Amino acid sequence: MSGNIETGSIITGKVTGIQPYGAFVALDENTQGLVHISEITHGYVKDIHDHLKVGDEIKVKVLSVDEEAGKIGLSIKATEEPSVQAARPRKPRRRQAAAIIPEGEGQQGFNTLKEKLQEWIDQSQGEDLIKK
Give 44-55 pLDDT, tens digit per residue. Answer: 999 999 999 999
Domain membership of residue 122 (yes or no) is: no
Domain membership of residue 55 (yes or no) is: yes
**Taking the CB of residue 35, how many other CB atoms lie within 10 A of it?**
28
Question: Which segments of the chain does DSSP mark as H helices, in order?
Answer: 84-87, 110-131
Structural domain of 26: 10-81
Domain membership of residue 127 (yes or no) is: no
Integer Cα distance of 5 and 9 in angstroms: 7
Average the pLDDT over 57-73 and give the result. Answer: 91
Number of domains observed in the structure of the chain: 1
Domain membership of residue 49 (yes or no) is: yes
Domain membership of residue 126 (yes or no) is: no
CB 40 within 8 A of CB 7: no
- Closest CA relative to residue 79, chosen from 14, 19, 11: 11
pTM of the model: 0.60
- One-letter amino acid at 8 equals G
Domain membership of residue 14 (yes or no) is: yes
pLDDT classification of 70: cutoffs 50, 70, 90: confident
CATH code (residue 64): 2.40.50.140
